[in-house]
Structure 1
Amino acid sequence: MLTITIKQGKEAGLLAGDPWIYLSAIDKVDGKPSERNKQGATAIVQSSSRKFLARAAYNAKSQIAARVWTLREDEPVDHALIKRRVQAAVERRASNADADPQALVQLVDGEQDGLPGLLVHGYGGPGGYLVCQFNAAGVDLWKVPAVQALIKATGCPNVYERADELVRKAEGLPITRRVLAGEEPPQRLMVRAGGRLAPMDIRTGFTYPR
């Protein structure tokens, strides 16, 4: 496994709860070259005195070089963690999703849900669609278990990957827009925003002019 050593005095933000570790805060990264070059690989983060600080997803191609998964030394980053956090995120917002099936409801909100870089919106309830953005290398690497967990947590079989081109380029990730499970959303759906219905392409977020 990779080990990231933080520069002396640069661990303050991490200890205060900042989930991002910038390239400028890193003293060195130890590990096999294959792991260092693997975008999103899990790394142990330690202080200059070698004290455990976190487990994080490492990406040498991004200015945000590491994104924290957990501050707990006894919590591994594995399929179970991804599925547990997806389930918890969906459960927190279940009432919002049930309130209006024509609304585009956020179900997963990245760092807030312990899933840095993952944004998920749902439309139409269990028979509708999920639109996901994998905006960081760590969650991109765990895409399969994340999608499996989303389908199980929501009962929605249709999952589409939307790409924020600027964000994924900054992460050194390819631009992918595709169906990950089930069927692709139609080009136009009536979506409620601000109390009014408007035609939208939920694959891109584009709202058609009236």
Structure 2
Amino acid sequence: MLIITIKQGKEKGLLSGEPWIYVSAIEKVEGKPQERNKAGATALVQSSSRQFLARAAYNAKSQIAARVWTLREDEPVDHAMIKRRVQAAVLKRTEALRSADPQALMQLVNGDKDGLPGLLVHSYGGTGGYLVCQFNAGGVDLWKVAIVQALIKATDCPNVYERCDALLRKGEGLPVAPRALAGDEPPQRLMVRDGGKLLPMDIRTGFTYPR
């Protein structure tokens, strides 16, 4: 595992709940070169006095050098943690989904707020519809397979599509390759409810067609 040492005094943001660690806050990064160069590799974050602060996803290619997974020393970053967090995010929004118009695009996962930094997931059409995911950071991109498996299990929706924000992914040093990750790709044009209106949209990109 990588070890990130934070500059003296720069740990205050982490201790107050700030989920991002910028390059300017890091004193040094220790670990094997292949791990240091892997976008999203798990790192132990420690203070300048070598006290545990967090576990985070490290990305040398990003200005946000690390994104916090957990502040708990006894919580490993593994498949079980990813599964728990995806399930909790979906469960939090289950009632809203049940009462929502099936043609609405509903948010299922909201990044740092759900303990999955950089991950955005929207649902369209319920269990027979589509999940549209954005992996906007190295950590969640590295755990993509586990996240997709957990989403399918938590929602019973078999169709998962990856939408790519080219600017964000390039800024993280990640490839831009939108595609179906499971099941079928959404049609190019669907009717999506926005407030009281139905609008033609490509949910793969977020593009709304002129009416």
TM > 0.5 fold call: yes
What amino acid maps onto 1:80 in structure 2? A
1:170 aligns with 2:171: yes
Q: Summarize the alignment of residues 1-210 of structure 1 with structure 2, pairs less than 5 Å apart.
A: 1-98=1-98, 99-210=100-211
SS of 1:76's partner is coil
What is the CA-CA distance between 1:95 and the residue it aligns to? 1.7
What amino acid maps onto 1:197 in structure 2? L
What amino acid maps onto 1:41 in structure 2? A
What amino acid maps onto 2:96 in structure 1? N
- Runs of 4+ with >6 A deviation: none
SS of 1:122's partner is strand
SS of 2:200's partner is strand
Deviations along 1:152-174, one digit per CA (max 9) or x if unpaired, are 00000000000000000110111
What is the CA-CA distance between 1:34 and the residue it aligns to? 1.2
Q: TM-score, normalized by length of structure 2?
A: 0.99
Measured in 2, the distance between the counterparts of 1:151 and 1:30 equals 36
Measured in 2, the distance between the counterparts of 1:175 and 1:89 equals 26
Deviations along 1:92-128, one digit per CA (max 9) or x if unpaired, are 0112222211100000000000000000000000000
SS of 1:172's partner is coil
Measured in 2, the distance between the counterparts of 1:19 and 1:101 equals 33
Deviations along 1:110-149, one digit per CA (max 9) or x if unpaired, are 0000000000000000000000000000000000000000
What amino acid maps onto 2:195 in structure 1? G
What is the CA-CA distance between 1:67 and the residue it aligns to? 0.2
Deviations along 1:10-60, one digit per CA (max 9) or x if unpaired, are 011111101000001000001111111111100000000000000000000
Measured in 2, the distance between the counterparts of 1:199 and 1:48 equals 54
What is the CA-CA distance between 1:196 and the residue it aligns to? 0.8
Unaligned runs of 5+ in 2: none
Measured in 1, the distance between the counterparts of 2:68 and 2:125 equals 32
Measured in 1, the distance between the counterparts of 2:33 and 2:167 equals 27
Total equivalences in the alignment:
210
What amino acid maps onto 1:132 in structure 2? C
Q: Please, what is the CA RMSD of the aligned residues?
A: 0.5
What amino acid maps onto 1:64 in structure 2? I
